[in-house]
Structure 1
């Protein structure tokens, strides 16, 4: 998650937007950034109370990957502006600041090593000067046209790596299998792995070394490939486990843990059915509805 925040600011800096100062600060102090963007998404959560010089924040931010080792929480919260109505404000919060604590509640099916603990924030002060983005609450905003194209290739590369490892273990395990069905299962596995690799490679090409256009068309192309990659990674790992037969189900072979890990690929935005709605709406010449997010 640190990488995609850095990548988004690298894009902004390249295109003449604020971002260079953060990159320099991260490099100089070796800061670890933690994002709550996927959990907050368009509506965000928590509460902000306006006080002199800034806001008082109360919230619990879930799926804050890397939070046990993080330095800065890059987060957001909703606020009802007296004039503009409901907005979402984006800002950093020190993970070592007063009123900020990392909860010991990351007990998932897979990806147990990601440290995606929730972060509890109680009466933390957010200076007005720390607000970096203000956007309408619940609406798709330009910020996601930068974040999704740089984040999803990084994220899906992890799951592609998981699928590759599962396939490698299955090949080794099944090398001397006498079962006549095994080659069919391995063939399915190899096809799925190739689809995953092609989708991820294509996502990386779309970013074009941060030269991509930050718009809905780019987001659409990236999220289509995200769905294809996620499904292919899951199928690869499932076929790897199946090809190994009963022993593949046992913990000692390691494939079962990879199978659990790769299931998390679905939950990163935009999830499959929402992506179908998003892409299908654009195909009809319509703006994607709020349900697509």
Structure 2
């Protein structure tokens, strides 16, 4: 049984939210919506077995969604950032894990488009369009301090470490990560780097076995004394200190990632309403449904605000913009989780059953908590910025 063929549910997803800059008649959104039934066929199987959504990723690649954000003049689809967010929301109705895995690739791509708009080097963009490269990030786990070890050698670096979670690792072409240079002359540094999955010393260890988003293939990438040339190291920064690069990363990544979870919440609400039709006349139902819709609307509005602030990848990457993105991420995550939890209440015992679709979506939506930053860390970061303090100090 798939997420869409429960006997009391419908295979037609609800209307998408109207994203800033992404009309619902966007060809990219139309393409994504058309994929929903096909993605749903195997979504529950991947969730049950914990297997990677390779079929879903093949579908989005065949439809050009992997390179939709690459500017047209560089061979890509030339889609807006808002369209990319709306596409991820749509895909999540069919397979949340496919949507989230694509968002991880897209946010790395978006950061390069942000650079392109500022006439900064972004050589990976035409390669993604021409070669179909899949970019894989480990940034969430590394954050300010990073992990692993980098040492200086002639012409580059030798890097070792275990990087997890790395969503999309089974399909990865290039790993975008970082490692600590402990014996740097001026104190510990973090070396940002990219390395092909095909490079000597790179392997994937299948460790991902989680409560939700089980099909993302967020395994451990093992780096065993991998040589990384200087040309593949765009930044070396002090460890443990805020760096402006994170403002760019957060402004690009968080709207895309949260767009997936809004799609999860929308799907859960639709299924819950279908399951509850026979109980619609009960006095408590209208209140429960109203509360559920309130959470969903908050999540939708929060992502729409994130998209507007992104300004189609032309936003000013400042400490204040980073704090705002993190604050909105926290709001959207809590609202999306609240919407799905209320969907369980509205759907009743049927929603609690495996095969309803709502049960899986409840597990999947809780993944929103673990993207940067979790609630306590986000509130501390945003609070320190509001007080004019170093966001990672103290």
TM-score by length of 1: 0.95
* 1:80-95 pair list within 5 angstroms: 80-95=182-197
Match of 1:49 in 2: 151
Match of 1:256 in 2: 359
Match of 1:66 in 2: 168
Match of 1:3 in 2: 106
Match of 1:140 in 2: 242
SS state of the match for residue 214, structure 1? Answer: coil
Q: Distance in 1 between matches of 2:316 and 2:346?
A: 42
Match of 1:165 in 2: 267
Stretch moving more, 190-199 or 112-121: 112-121
* 1:201-280 pair list within 5 angstroms: 201-280=304-383
> 2:384 aligned with 1:281, yes or no?
yes
Q: Distance in 2 between matches of 1:283 and 1:125?
A: 42
Equivalent of 2:224 in 99, 109, 122: 122
* 1:177-216 pair list within 5 angstroms: 177=279, 178-216=281-319
SS state of the match for residue 215, structure 2? Answer: helix
Identify, as 1 or 2, the structure richer in strand.
Answer: 1
Q: Distance in 1 between matches of 2:197 and 2:350?
A: 43
**Per-residue Cα deviation, 1:127-182 (whole angstroms, up to 9, x for no partner):** 12221111111111111110101100000000000000000001111122154322
SS state of the match for residue 118, structure 1? Answer: strand
SS state of the match for residue 135, structure 1? Answer: strand
Q: Distance in 1 between matches of 2:387 and 2:128?
A: 43
Deviation at 1:36? 0.7
SS state of the match for residue 240, structure 2? Answer: coil
Match of 1:150 in 2: 252
Deviation at 1:81? 4.7
Deviation at 1:93? 1.0
Q: Distance in 2 between matches of 1:49 and 1:224?
A: 36
Q: Distance in 1 between matches of 2:345 and 2:178?
A: 43
> 2:171 aligned with 1:77, yes or no?
no
Q: Distance in 2 between matches of 1:222 and 1:82?
A: 32
Match of 2:211 in 1: 109
Q: Distance in 1 between matches of 2:355 and 2:362?
A: 13
Q: Distance in 1 between matches of 2:385 and 2:149?
A: 34
Deviation at 1:32? 0.5
Deviation at 1:17? 2.0
Q: Distance in 2 between matches of 1:82 and 1:144?
A: 22
Q: Distance in 2 between matches of 1:203 and 1:58?
A: 36
Unaligned runs of at least 5 residues, structure 2: 1-103
Q: Distance in 1 between matches of 2:390 and 2:210?
A: 35
Q: Distance in 2 between matches of 1:136 and 1:223?
A: 22
TM-score by length of 2: 0.72
Deviation at 1:122? 0.9
Q: Distance in 2 between matches of 1:82 and 1:242?
A: 55
> 2:137 aligned with 1:35, yes or no?
yes
